[in-house]
Amino acid sequence: MGLDNETPTKSVLITGSSTGIGEACAIALHDKGIRVFAGVRRQEDGERLVKQTSAALIPLLLDVTDEQAIKKATQQITDATAGGGLSGLVNNAGITIAFPLEFLPMDVLRKQLEVNVIGPAAVTQAMLPLIRQGQGRIVNVSSISGLAAAPYIGAYAASKHALEAMSDSLRVELRNFAVPVSLVEPADVATPIWEKSRQAANDLRSEVMDRGEGDDVSEEVREAYARDIAAMREATSKSEKQAIPVSHVVKAIEHALLARRPKTRYLVGGKTRAVKFFLRHLPDRLRDRIVMNSLGMK
């Protein structure tokens, strides 16, 4: 399916553009002559993006969990497009929380869901009038964890499963307005999220210890988790080394935004395809053994 190069200038909003997939996507689309509204959390991130591209890229201070920030961004886009609307919305902003569910503080679980689920829903609601106006589309950046949940990232996997469900519903609900909805489902990607996730896990462990939660947990339970977590860290280190280039994900997002007939799903990376077409269809206990073996768990 070829890209439509005959359309006039397009305008696209990308959330979570400070680093990683969002940053790479913002730069790539800008270089194609598309007007990019890049959602960032800090002003310095926006300034850095403009230096990497040009003044044609428009940074927006956009925390997807902040209702007022969403309203302000909507008005800024409305004013800048002057009736042209949005050609596309890329819901990319997200965080990864890795921790045993038994000890995961509820406020941390709520934060995971607020950023990765409620945030995209709130931004989509706000932008839909502009998307209809611009005959645009929606691209939701999911994950391999939206297809299958691994241990110790249950909160993150739950958020991505929810995003997948919302996308399936939205795709049908918006059919009468000819607004395509696509899911991009990457495997492990070479971005700064690995270091961010490690730091977040360490910070969370310190926070839980400071709260005194789990002080009454037996040594046997602690050792069981410790063995698993050690195996997870080693497996994660291997996955990071084998991660796919971010350019592969950017290519899928570009197709979803620019192709005449975008796909409903983009499986990016061999690992995601293996999970989609093989692992999900196995009996649960066999599936669990394969997952544990792949992570070095006993």
**Is residue 266 annotated as a catalytic residue, yes or no?**
no
Reported confidence tier of residue 183, pLDDT bands at 50, 70, 90: very high
What pLDDT does residue 4 have?
44
Count of domains forming the chain: 1
Report the pLDDT value the prediction gives residue 211, as an integer from 0 to 100: 54
pLDDT band at 262 (very low <50, low <70, confident <90, very high): very high
Q: How far apart are the first and last CA of the chain?
A: 45
Q: Does 110 have pLDDT greater than 50?
A: yes
Inform me whether the pLDDT recorded for 52 exceeds 80: yes
HSE, side-chain direction, 13 A CA sphere, residue 83:
0
Tell me which of 134-143, 205-214, 270-279 is least confident: 205-214
Domain membership of residue 277 (yes or no) is yes
- At 6 the pLDDT is 41
- Is residue 151 within 8 A of residue 104, CB to CB? The reply is no
- Higher-pLDDT residue of 224 and 65 is 65
In a domain? residue 33: yes
pLDDT band at 196 (very low <50, low <70, confident <90, very high): low
d(CA 174, CA 221) in angstroms, rounded, equals 48
Amino acid, res. 179: V
288 Ramachandran zone, left/alpha/beta (phi>0; psi -120 to 50) = alpha
pLDDT band of residue 225 (cuts 50, 70, 90) is confident
> Could you tell me the pLDDT band of residue 3, with boundaries at 50, 70 and 90?
very low
Residues 16 and 115 sit within 8 Å (Cβ to Cβ): no
pTM of the entire predicted model: 0.89
| Phi and psi at residue 285, to the nearest 5° | -70, -35
Is residue 232 in a domain?
A: no
Q: Is 152 a domain residue?
A: yes
When mean pLDDT is compared across 65-69, 72-76, 101-105, the lowest value belongs to 101-105
In a domain, 6, yes or no: no
The rounded Cα 188 to chain-centroid distance in angstroms is 12
Q: What is the pLDDT of residue 240?
A: 72
- Give tens-digit pLDDT for 230-260: 888 887 777 777 778 999 999 999 999 999 9
Residue 168 lies in a domain: yes
Closest among 112, 17, 115 to 64, alpha carbons compared: 115
Mean pLDDT: which of 59-68, 229-238, 280-289 is highest? Answer: 59-68
pLDDT at residue 298, rounded to an integer = 78
Q: For residues 46 and 61, is the Cβ–Cβ distance under 8 A?
A: yes
Residue 182 C-alpha from the chain's centroid: 13
**Residue 124 within any structural domain of the chain:** yes
Residue 269 belongs to what domain range? 11-192+245-281
Whole-number Å distance between alpha carbons of 11 and 142? 22
2 inside domain? no
Catalytic residue selected from 152, 156, 225, 266: 156
CA-CA-CA-CA dihedral for 100, 105, 109, 111, to nearest 10: -130
Average pLDDT, the chain: 89
For residue 195, name the pLDDT band (cuts at 50, 70, 90).
low
Read off the pLDDT of residues 116-163 as tens digits, 9 standing for 90 and up: 999 999 999 999 999 999 999 999 999 999 999 999 999 999 999 999
| The pLDDT of residue 207 | 54
pLDDT value of residue 42: 96
User: Are the C-beta atoms of 33 and 57 separated by less than 8 Å?
Assistant: no
- Whether the pLDDT of residue 45 is over 90: the answer is yes
pLDDT, residue 176, reads 97
| Predicted pLDDT at 231 | 84
**In CATH, what number is assigned to the domain containing residue 179?**
3.40.50.720
